[in-house]
Chain A
């Protein structure tokens, strides 16, 4: 059961990461274009994403069980990416955010801008935790247990011995 759940969250983590990244990319690029700001200034928003992408790639390629099979880490990743996606969704589609109607950009930049700092904090937190989980004790190999011969093979020998003594 735990394995199934873990597998599910592991897959969901990547899906949500993509959706969170796409929503952030869309909003931030659109925001910077409308405000006629230099897009290089938006790099600081995407650095934590880049860092996580690299770490996830290392986890996948290195088959690091200590990270990939850590259910708590996977659930937290899902929650963080879901929160980012939800905030992006609200900034674009929530009609009750009235600045969205006032500015007529179709996106409530004011709302999303407030969320950028917590978003960065959460993403950097995930990166730090990922690096921490990469260092782990190597599993010691269990001592080899001598394999006993099958009873059937021993039995004829015993028989033969018994017969010899007779």
Chain B
């Protein structure tokens, strides 16, 4: 009787070890697989990307528009102080666009999760906060009397809507991309989701850069027309 009991205990012991072995092997392999999936890179040739080239051209054009301004020769209706402020703001924005992360893009063809995340956060800090919100949000949310020029006044609500939509979009990109550490049974579907999320986050962020550069170009065109 005692021997049978001992045999049963032994069987239970081996069963528990077997289950633990299977469970830990599953977790070990799953973690390897998840780490491998996350380290997959997205291949994008930025130099040949139309959107990237368009942004670079827009910024070059903005720079050209504000370069020709000579405050001494201006005799228009808009107060000189307002124009000088606008010129300074546009200049700050072009500098923000030429930030390190954005300029480094053209030298690269492979992007990992960490790179894309940095690219997206860089947009939030440099372009959205440093340029659009700090420089132009007050202009876009002013009631009307503060803006001396009618065309800028009509442009202000459009600017506001765009800035607010970009705040939402960039927050969405980053927050949806954060949770790449959650994994369960890895299927082809989740693999594709992880991979596609990286690719989508990159293009969405690039499109936000594009949208911002378009806004700047609009403002700089108005500035150029007013000054010349």
Contact = CB atoms under 8 A, between A and B. Distances in A.
Interface of A: 72-73, 75-76, 79-80, 82-83, 86-87, 90, 94-102, 108, 110-111, 114-115, 118, 121-122, 125-126, 128-129, 131-133, 135-137
Interface stretch (B16-24, B48-56, B82-90): B16-24
Nearest to A118: B27
Contacts of B114: 95-96, 98, 101
B81 interface: no
Contacts, number: 97
B16 A102 contact: no
A79 B181 contact: no
Given A98-B117, A99-B179, A126-B20, 5 more contacts: A72-B21, A82-B28, A83-B28, A98-B178, A125-B23
B21 A79 contact: yes
23 contacts: A72-B14, A72-B17, A79-B25, A80-B20, A82-B28, A90-B35, A94-B35, A96-B35, A96-B39, A97-B38, A98-B117, A99-B179, A100-B181, A110-B182, A114-B182, A115-B27, A122-B23, A122-B24, A125-B16, A129-B20, A132-B13, A132-B16, A135-B10
A76 B21 contact: yes
A135 B39 CA distance: 47
Contacts of B17: 72-73, 76, 125-126, 129
Contact of A98 (B13, B39, B181): B181
Interface in B1-37: 3, 6, 9-10, 12-14, 16-17, 19-21, 23-25, 27-28, 31-32, 35
B112 interface: yes
Nearest to B11: A132
Nearest to B117: A98
Contacts of B195: none
Which size class do B's interface residues fall under? 20 to 34
A111 B181 contact: yes
Nearest to A138: B6
Nearest to B112: A96
Contacts of A108: 181
Contacts of A90: 31, 35
A135 B9 contact: yes
B180 interface: yes
Contacts of B28: 79, 82-83, 86
B177 interface: yes
A68 B199 CA distance: 51
A113 B178 CA distance: 16
Nearest to B40: A96
B16 A136 contact: no
Taking each of A75, A76, A101, A135, which has the highest tally of chain B beta carbons within 10 Å of its own beta carbon? A76
Taking each of B13, B14, B27, which has the highest tally of chain A beta carbons within 10 Å of its own beta carbon? B13
Contacts of A131: 13
